[in-house]
Structure 1
Amino acid sequence: MTRHCPALLVSAPASGQGKTSVTAALARAHARLGRRVRVFKTGPDFLDPMILARASRAPVYQLDAWMGGETDVRARLYDAAGEADLILVEGVMGLFDGAPSSADLAARFGLPVLTVIDGSAMAQTFGAIAHGLATYREDVTVQGVLANRVDSDYHAQLLRESLPPELAWHGTLPRDSVPAKPGGSAIARDNATRPLSLPERHLGLVTADELDDLEARLDALADAIAERSTLTLPDAVPFEPVEPMARTVSLAGVRIAVARDAAFAFIYPANLDVLREAGAKLVFFSPLAGDALPRCDAVWLPGGYPELHLETLSARADLREALHSHVDAGRPLLAECGGLLYALDSLADSEGNTAPMAGLLRGQAAMQPRMAALGMQGVALPEGELRGHSFHYAHAHIDAEPLALATNPNGGPTTEAVYRRKRMTASFMHFYFPSNPDAAARLFLP
């Protein structure tokens, strides 16, 4: 049965326009009105969804027609339409960038687009950019425009008057720490001097758990957009049901220890769902907090920021010993990106400080000032083909022959190696388990 739900895909002409801030502001503002908001993120991204999950007070999943496949995307939208009053999808890069692009997603699933444009250094040209985005492809519906980083009411007026009449005006977000408008709520006045931007580091936004004032920032964003937008719901979009993917591999009774803290924070909620739906029992532990390796049949060391925690990780001799015993006994272990860096003999941060790591795989790595790899990745493993992505600033010298080499579906230069030692699998590649749930489950099968 078809389900209908108001929906918007929030996109922009380019990265850095403020898509995440606007999506977070809309999510928090609508949630405060008592609306059930479900937010998704286009493409591979760990950091934006952490912020958006806090803003919407609900888990944020990926929508990617290549990494997950069309069936996965359609199923997630259909499920959300059954429980939400509003669906928001944050795009990736610029509206038409990449393959598949945010525009491809909007066209394929009938999602109207809200375009966020940084208006800080323009006036009437704002309208020309909006017009170009709205008319570039006939199969993409740009429903309206929101101006970000606006200086004043007069500036907002110039931007609004530049728009063609067929594009709806969704209001503005100001620059950081602007005074609240007279007559606003007490909450708005309290938040008037709160920063509206979200801090970044080399891989993108700072993780949500690192921002002690994140709730205040989100409330400030919601206050700012509530004062400058009507917050009316967009038109409802029809979403169709799909047949779920058949799964045959069972992990019933299998205990998987999952490292989860600031050093190992990059975990797709959908990956956890795949393991749980296969019957696995997930046990989380924090290497940074000093947690011992839990009793388990398999281990998962996800990506994150181990380079920011060298001293703490290098001091965990007990964890190194436990992981060596685990791997030597032939039990499964998956180390992804930051997990791979921790699995090597040593890691150097961007300042050149070097520390010993777990030594599960012979090799050394060092952080570089420039991006080392970026792009979608697909790889054929003995367990089956898995898709995912790569995004890192580390360069590694690994003394081992790869089990397999991943490839970029768009012909990009990134080609990540996958290494295998007994039942340990290690790679810079972040696997997206819903791309092949059975193959993902086999990685952890004792």
Structure 2
Amino acid sequence: MQETKTLKEKTKYMIKIVLPILITQVALYLMTFFDILMTSKYSIEHLAGVSIGSSLWVPVYTGLTGILLGITPIVAQLIGAKKHEDVRSFVQQGFYIAILLAFFIFIGIIVLIDPILNIIPLEANVREVARKYLLMMCIGLIPLFLYSVLRSFIDALGKTRVSMFVTLLSAPINIALNYVLIYGKFGLPALGGVGAGLASSLTYWLILFITILIVKNNKPFADLHIFQGWTMPSLSKSKVLTKIGLPIGLSLFAETTIFSAVTIMMSVYSTAVISAHQVAMNFTSLLYMIPLSIAMGVTILVGHEVGAKKYQDAKVYSWLGVCTAVVFSFVSVSILIIFREAIAGIYTNDSEVINLAVQFFFFAALFQLSDAIQAPVQGALRGYKDVTITFIMAIISYWVIGLPTGYLLGTYTSYGPFGYWIGLIVGLTIGAITLGTRLVYLQKKFSIVS
């Protein structure tokens, strides 16, 4: 943990923490990005299948790996309080939870995949691509979850450049595997969207092995001996992790599933509409990596300061993160408005899909500011370990208000599929307002304590 006194020093340190996280998130996201992009060049039917499959996969993965993010504020506060001896046991409990979660997801996908896909009104070939894509992704469940634990541990120590290094190594491997497996190179069969799922899973294994080697052999990670002196599963420590991690995971699940729910509800429209929606969502999600990375950095910084009982410094880092994200949101809006047709053309040559995607990009630009506020505010709240109220607010904002609004506008007005995006804007905006209010209240509470 680096001591900072002035706003300038804090800004520099935040950039030092956040920039590697951003590069890491973008590189990780590029795996999904290139799954969609390279599949779109194969066929729009496979693009629609991957779209549906990823819409089911992403919220489950994000929500459950979000539970493992509880390690970050816990370890960050232990480091801030200089309780290094407690770090190893908490990380090991995280490994146990990760394996358990991976097992339950695998069973859930095997049992529920066909009933769920049969409920969704899809063309037969689109449904089959979605099914096989999900089965291929299951191959990477265990390494993906174990890596999430290691990354949370690494980032909590403030060594975010290490995560960046690992992910940058794996990204080109994923692209190469996509090329071989999607299009059928070097004598292998062309698997289309199914090959994209297999390529991602193989890459997750690579990420895990590289990270284990780094943590075992390099300081400061090796000094904490997380792979030595294995403790038995501890109910008390697991409760601490899940008490923090479960609300984080559920909050992320609530946020990501609303996007996935919109995609699935839009399956009543044509393949072109589904594909255009996925193109817009895919690129918008790439832009979201900026406020998300700032949020993850703010969690680490606030966690360190709260652990050291430096509550004023924690407050400064919280709002510094929000202001930085807001500034970048205007850049995102400009990109979406000015270059939306060119961006759509990167994904596909289909004129109908391009025209629809351009319209979706306009609505995507409208919720950039809300995203820029709510993401770092959530990150700050996690640094304070304030997660339960955050989860409740997320449920109300996204599911009680946002999704029903989108459904009503999409079903009963002339907005059609664009009505769902208006609902997203409403939900994200209300989320930003309520979460911001919660952060202000919490900081006042801590200032009284100090």
Query: TM-score, normalising length from structure 1?
Result: 0.27
Query: TM-score, normalising length from structure 2?
Result: 0.27
Point out which structure has higher relative CO (alpha carbons under 8 A, 6+ apart): 2
Larger Rg: 1
Specify which structure has the higher proportion of strand. 1
Specify which structure has the higher proportion of helix. 2
